[in-house]
């Protein structure tokens, strides 16, 4: 990666970078929220898409809308990423279709609100499968082609939750800590190959996430940001090769500067208050 310069946590790509073209992007969790907004941003820039989500019917409607509005080609794949076989099926489908993935956006993920010992183990295992295992598998499948072609981009949607333990969302917070660690490690490994990896760490976002996770009355979601604004932040960070991106400067400062200085018990109490439900 001789034309790239690392300054702080950013990678600045030279003029000869092979990842300067829009290319095709694969987006998981693309049927709504941040994933749909990221797909829309990519399509607006003229990039073709492969959209992945459980609901193929929703994806078909999105495909029609994006193709009509932006004149791009959109492939849809219905897949449940809690199924360990899904990443291989997705990769095989794009290979058979001859679609070259230049940008991989691992956005799919979900949480679950309650005390760990009161939650069903199957729900926690499914969460780990979607948030971590499928993300790793898809990255492994597609990064080989990026390396062979001399460049690519990967955006992994993490969370500010990655920076603290999360009582009442213990597994979800832990999965996002994994995403952050994994993303930064492989970003360093892949830089000689002109492949960038970005972890997007938003705070609360106004999507179906809260409803799915039984968190509609949780305090932190009272000030949720729009999915569109978070997607814009993440896409810009990915384009510039940023390692970690926050959608809020105050969150960035508090999470990365203030929290590490606080006693662990204080952090745990603060984290649990964020997860408390309001009447």
List the catalytic residue out of 6, 142, 163, 172. 172
Query: Domain spans of the chain?
Result: 4-275
CATH pick for 4-275 out of 3.40.50.720, 1.10.287.610, 3.30.1280.10, 3.30.420.40: 3.40.50.720
Residue 71 has pLDDT above 80, yes or no: yes
Active site residue 163: no
- Give the model's pLDDT for residue 105: 98
Higher pLDDT, 262 or 207: 262
| Token pair 């609100």: residue | 113
What average pLDDT does the structure give for the chain?
87
Percent of the chain whose predicted confidence (pLDDT) is above 90: 69
Summarize pLDDT for 13-28 with one digit per residue, the tens: 333 333 446 899 999 9
Q: How far is CA 217 from the centre of its chain?
A: 24
Angstrom CA distances, 34 to 168, 224, 270, stand at: 23, 13, 26
The residue with greater pLDDT, 265 or 144, is 144
The whole-model pTM stands at 0.83
Weakest mean pLDDT among 136-145, 166-175, 194-203, 267-276: 267-276
Question: Quick check: 42 pLDDT over 90?
Answer: yes
Q: Which is nearest to 62 in space by CA: 87, 33, 86? A: 33
Whether 218 has a pLDDT exceeding 70, the answer reads no
pLDDT tens figures, 122-140: 999 999 999 999 999 999 9
């Amino acid at each position: 990666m001789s034309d790239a310069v690392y300054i702080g946590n950013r990678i600045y790509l030279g003029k000869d970078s092979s990842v300067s073209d829009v290319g095709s992007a694969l987006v998981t969790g693309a049927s709504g929220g941040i994933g749909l907004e990221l797909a829309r941003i990519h399509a607006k820039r003229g990039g073709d898409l492969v959209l992945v989500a459980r609901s193929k019917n929703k994806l078909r409607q999105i495909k029609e809308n994006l193709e009509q509005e932006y004149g791009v080609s959109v492939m849809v794949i219905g897949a449940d990423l809690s199924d360990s076989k899904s990443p291989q099926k997705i990769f095989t489908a794009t290979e058979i279709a001859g679609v070259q993935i230049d940008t991989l956006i691992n956005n799919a993920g979900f949480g679950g609100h309650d005390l760990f010992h009161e939650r069903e183990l199957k729900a926690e295992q499914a969460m780990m499968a979607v948030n971590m295992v499928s993300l790793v598998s898809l990255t492994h499948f597609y990064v080989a082609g990026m390396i062979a072609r001399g460049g690519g981009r990967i955006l992994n949607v993490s969370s500010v939750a990655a920076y603290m333990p999360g009582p009442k969302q213990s597994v979800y917070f832990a999965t996002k800590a994994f995403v952050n660690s994994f993303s930064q490690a492989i970003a360093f490994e892949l830089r000689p190959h002109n492949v960038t990896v970005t972890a997007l760490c938003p705070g609360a976002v106004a999507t179906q996430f809260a409803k799915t996770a039984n968190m509609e009355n949780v305090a932190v979601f009272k000030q949720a940001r729009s999915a569109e604004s978070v997607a814009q932040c993440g896409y810009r960070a990915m384009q510039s090769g940023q390692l970690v991106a926050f959608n809020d400067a105050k969150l960035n400062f508090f999470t990365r500067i203030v929290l590490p200085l606080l006693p662990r018990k204080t952090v745990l109490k603060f984290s649990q208050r964020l997860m408390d439900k309001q009447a």
